[in-house]
Copies of this chain bind each other. A is one copy, B any other.
């Protein structure tokens, strides 16, 4: 594991703390926390392993009907999400942050429209097309998912990636970006507008 320099570490802890405050203050986000819970990841520049990716130990859960981090930020606290970001960074090294959220029935159509309105690129992945030999190789699922997302987005990293779930796999979406404050604000915007749309 490469140790970040102090300036990078200060920037990373500062940004992820403020991003978490955004999410914890957003009551509507509760409806978009999946059963597997939400995590937020923030990779060091040029991160190669999950140890170089900061995430929330224990993920973000729901306590007293509000989003709340279970533990603290820690390098190495995520594996799946961290690997997905690392894969995406191979295409675009500036994409260092991600937050995952639920993809309930009917949501992805609404979200596709929302992305169009905001000028965001979204990729809808169908895990049923994932080759069986990939599913069983530890870690290669995220490699496949990242490649699919980039492929369906014309060779670039999209803003949002959704999958429809699969056998034993809950459908989830992930929003990615350069740093966590911006995407935290964006995902709270999604949660508030989606809540409005259901009224």
Contacts and interface: CB of A to CB of B under 8 A. Distances in A.
A57 interface: yes
A61 B55 CA distance: 14
Interface in A78-95: none
Interface in A154-171: 165-171
A37 B18 contact: no
Interface string A1-36: 000001001111111011000000000000000011
Contacts of A63: 57-58, 70-71
Given A9-B18, A10-B14, A168-B169, A61 B37 contact: yes
A172 B4 CA distance: 35
Contacts of A181: 6
A: contact size bracket: 20 to 34
Contacts of A13: 13-14, 17-18
Contacts of A64: 57, 71
A23 B59 CA distance: 19
Contacts of A71: 61, 63-64, 68
Nearest to A105: B136
Contact of A17 (B57, B58, B73, B165): B73
Ordered nearest first, which 6 A-B pairs have the shortest CB separation?
A14-B14, A10-B14, A165-B168, A58-B61, A63-B71, A35-B36
9 contacts: A10-B14, A13-B18, A14-B17, A17-B73, A37-B59, A57-B63, A61-B61, A68-B71, A167-B167
